[in-house]
Amino acid sequence: MSKTCCVTGHRQLPAEQLALIESELRRLIRQAIADGYDTFISGMAGGADQIFARLIVEAKAEYPVRLEAAIPYAARTKSRDLVFQSLLAQCDDVTVVCEQYSSGCFFARNRYLVDRSDAVIAVYDGRKSGGSYYTIQYAESRGREISFVRVMP
């Protein structure tokens, strides 16, 4: 039986904490794989999402895991960001949640992540606003298991 894990996290992460954040994300991903998770979903935003996606791409060299990109709106796939395009090309599946950009497309993408996942990894600094906070609240309301990578503000 397939088990799915997604990530939520901040786009802007303190540079001095990046190595620790990446190390903790890698540990949680390996633990998820050991626990039977074989599908991982990233919203593909900068920061935590792309670090997570890169670590799943690395894990694919050792484990039979899949990476899905959940893109908030169709035009985002045309980004000129080379890191984004490189990661997108290495995804096993790409889901576009909304055809057109709207003020709610990122929230729709975040709900998609949680609704398709059994567990959530949150790279989170504790702030009580923003997309990561919303996604954590939504995941809690849906009874999802949440693992935290703590970020110091």
CATH code for the domain of 47: 3.40.50.450
67-108 pLDDT per residue, tens: 999 999 999 999 999 999 999 999 999 999 999 999 999 999
pLDDT computed for residue 78 by the predictor:
96
What is the chain written as a DSSP string?
---EEEEEE-SS--GGGHHHHHHHHHHHHHHHHHTT--EEEE---TTHHHHHHHHHHHHHTTS--EEEEEEEEGGGGG---HHHHHHHHT-SEEEEEESS--TTHHHHHHHHHHHT-SEEEEEE---SSSHHHHHHHHHHHTT-EEEEEE---
127-147 pLDDT per residue, tens: 999 999 999 999 999 999 999
Task: Please check the confidence at residue 117 and state whether its pLDDT lies above 90.
Answer: yes
Domain that holds residue 119: 4-150
3-51 pLDDT per residue, tens: 999 999 999 999 999 999 999 999 999 999 999 999 999 999 999 999 9
pLDDT computed for residue 1 by the predictor:
82
Count of structural domains, the chain: 1
pLDDT computed for residue 93 by the predictor:
98
pLDDT computed for residue 153 by the predictor:
85
